[in-house]
Structure 1
Amino acid sequence: MTLSPTALLPGVRSATVDTDRIRMHYLDSGPADGTPIIMVHGNLSTSRFFEHLMPELPQYRVIAPDMRCFGDSEPAPVDATRGLADWADDVFALVRALGIDEPPHLVGWSTAGAAIARYAMDRPVASLTLLDPVSPYGYGGVRADGTPCFPDFAGSGAGTVNPELVRRITAGDDSDESPLSVRNVFNAFYVAPGHRESPEREDLLVSEILKTVTGEANYPGDLATSPNWPGMAPGTSGLLNALSPKYCNWAGIVDLDPKPPVLWTHGSADLVVADGSSLELGTLGASGTVPNWPGPDVFPPQPMVSQIREVLERYAQAGGTVRTEFFDGSGHAPHLDAREKWLAVFTEFLTST
């Protein structure tokens, strides 16, 4: 049977619930009394980026919400000054609304890595799975030790996104006519080179990305100018500002007590979260793509993977358990382009906790 682009996989349910924060849409699978796993998607994606995994975990109750800014949840604003705390609090509100009374296993992809870390810093969790997470020191404008290149964190936030991408999302562009069309961005930056989802699945995921709520309160956020290179600094609202190192920092997990087990999975060919990511201003400046780069002493490329590794090493040295798995050749989404291998690692981790 060929599924239509909007049909859910067998065993996966769709629902909406009013929490005490926002109205949230989510996918659900498995028994109501199963051990809860909550899979939180990242930037420019939705719950359906996890849908294909859910039937493979039948003994668990797997819940994948649409986070504010994305999917079919209420289009609520993001207070960037709280980092990813709005997302963390929304997940907890969903947990309460669904009557889940045990600490869940949390999976956080990309942006959501910071959100689930923040959740764990505020309340108990059974485990944390960091799936190609944003650096513990946010995205852009910092040195290796997490200190800012400039006091105002210039070079991070909403101003760093190409406005043509935002325009095409707002216009609902599902074509492949431009490198900045969502379809081409998905194939270039989400998955490994040469990997293609089925045509139906690709259409579905592109349509889900196009549900992104654009604007100053959501994606990418409000803009702020700066006297420092490259001329912009983070504003105070919207998702990309929430990812700025000015507000986003999850290195505090090192001090958790007790420390939940951590699984870190990462694609070796990830272009989004990488040492020298091709989307980060230090790398773009060094390559000449963004002119007038002040040089590596002032604004070095951000070593994102090295920063993740350093923080998780300190977590382990402080008594935590950390498992690290790199997926050779995978991109920013090994749960898509290395599905079976990623599932095997994740299920083994779950049974060992």
Structure 2
Amino acid sequence: MTEFTRSIVSTPRLDMNVWTSGPEDGLPLLLVHGNLSSGGFWKYLAAELPADVRVIAPDMRAFGRTEAKTVDATRGLGDMSDDVHGLLEVLGLGGRPVNSVGWSMGAGVLMQQLLENPGDLASMIFIAPLSPFGFGGTTDAKGTMAYSDGAGTGAGGANPEFVRRLLIKDDTEMVPLTSPRVMLRTYFGPERNAKNVDEDFLVEELLRVKISDQLYPGNSVPSMNWPLIAPGDKGVNNAMSPKYFDTSAIVDLPTKPPVTWIFGSDDQISSNRSMFDFGTLGMLGAVPGWPGPMVFPPQPMEDQMRFVLKEYAQRGGQVREVPLEGVGHGIPLAVPGRLAEEVVASLVR
């Protein structure tokens, strides 16, 4: 098995913890993790990749062992995409497009990186991706916002007790609804591959998230609109609000790296019925006062991704869809071998 190791890399923006495997002169492959995880979550995919691939898997700001610096949510995921750009330059890869894989929030980082640093990426794989129109609060495939202030999105949607348990690093299974360990296992874990994955390692990495109004989940403000909270201007979850995050302009880029979209049929996070979306929760009666499907429906995340990628292809981009039946959000943990096959098939050499 290829060794998966970590080291601190100092960039002009911040000190980043970076997990790597493969030869230093190998084919670079950038892996960008999702929310509530770290670069360490890629270890199982890294073990399945060819020996000549050089994996570069940074911990994003607010996560893992990377230096904790404020996330300016008004830039969407721009802080994170710029962090990745700075890392590639320090590693001597500036101006040399690299293959890339982004999982969930990480796919959003790659979309924003494509907009702001288009020369960085040779190919992109989006795994269970964040919608190009952000997370929550949009009503149709074109990303129309339910409310202009982004009510029902961002940091205010994080369960306060769950956040408290992250802060004190409580990984017990008591009160499963707010247990970080149970949340991982239920929503973005290894599923039927659990026997081949070290859950304690994953939970330890998850609990390294930095809890504050500047980092995770961020700050929130009151709203006159349902559910009476709106995103503030700092923090990870606010950076994914449609108030600030919209990368649909990737369709306008003159140069379009090929995109592979991989998604699971049982995804409970990035889907048309996300269990973390106020539209879904309101519809199920879990949040009182829901104004109904005409005002605040479940966000059609898959429809939005398909809408943007269809336009991307019509304007000259190459797009491939890979649906995985019976798989949830935790694709890199649940089916790392299957994922490795798709990564290899997408590599630009």
Q: Same-fold call, TM > 0.5?
A: yes
2:62 is equivalent to residue 69 of structure 1: yes
The residue aligned with 1:37 is 29
Q: CA deviation at 1:122?
A: 2.1
Q: Which residue of 2 aligns with 1:325?
A: 322
User: Matches of 2:295 and 2:226 in 1, distance apart?
Assistant: 10
Match of 1:142 among 138, 143, 150: 138
Q: CA deviation at 1:67?
A: 0.4
Per mean C-alpha deviation after superposition, the further-off stretch among 291-300 and 10-19 is 10-19
1:96 to 83, 89, 94: 89
Cα shift at 1:10: 4.4
Structure-2 residue corresponding to 1:78:
71
Task: Tell me by how many angstroms 1:346 deviates.
Answer: 1.6
In structure 2, the partner of 1:12 is: 4
Match of 1:186 in 2: 184
Instruction: State TM-score, norm by structure 2.
Output: 0.95
Q: Which residue of 2 aligns with 1:177?
A: 174
Q: Which runs of 5 or more structure 2 residues have no equivalent in the other structure?
A: none
Q: Distance in 1 between matches of 2:47 and 2:274?
A: 33
Structure 1 equivalent of residue 101 of structure 2: 107
How much does 1:225 deviate? Answer: 0.5
Does structure 1 retain, via aligned residues, the 8 Å contact 2:19–2:39? Answer: yes
Structure 1 residue runs of 4+, over 6 Å off? none
- CA RMSD of the aligned region, Å? 1.4
What fraction of aligned residue pairs are identical, expressed as a percent?
43
Mapped partners of 2:197, 2:128: distance in 1:
25
Structure 1 distance, partners of 2:29, 2:182, is: 31
- Read off the aligned partner of 1:149 and give its amino acid letter: A
- The residue identity in structure 1 corresponding to 2:307 is E
| SS of residue paired to 2:320 | strand
Alpha-carbon distance between aligned partners in 1 of 2:169 and 2:3, rounded to the nearest angstrom: 30
How far off its partner does 1:142 sit?
1.0
| Contact kept in structure 1, 2:148 and 2:243, CA below 8 Å | no
In 2, the alpha carbon distance for the partners of 1:272 and 1:15 equals 31
What is the CA-CA distance between 1:55 and the residue it aligns to? Answer: 3.2
Relative contact order (alpha carbons < 8 A, sep ≥ 6): 1 or 2 greater? 2
Conserved? CA contact 1:270–1:330, under 8 Å? yes
> Within 2, Cα distance between the matches of 1:268 and 1:251?
23
How far 1:300 sits from its partner (Å)? 1.1
Q: Secondary structure at the match of 2:182?
A: helix
Which of 174, 198, 201 in structure 2 is aligned with 1:201? 198
Q: Distance in 1 between matches of 2:128 and 2:139?
A: 20
Any gaps of 5 or more consecutive residues in structure 1? Answer: 1-8
Q: TM-score scaled by structure 1?
A: 0.94
- Return the alpha-carbon distance in structure 2 between the equivalents of residues 134 and 84 of structure 1: 11
| Per-residue Cα deviation, 1:304-352 (whole angstroms, up to 9, x for no partner) | 011101110111111100011011111112121112111112211216x
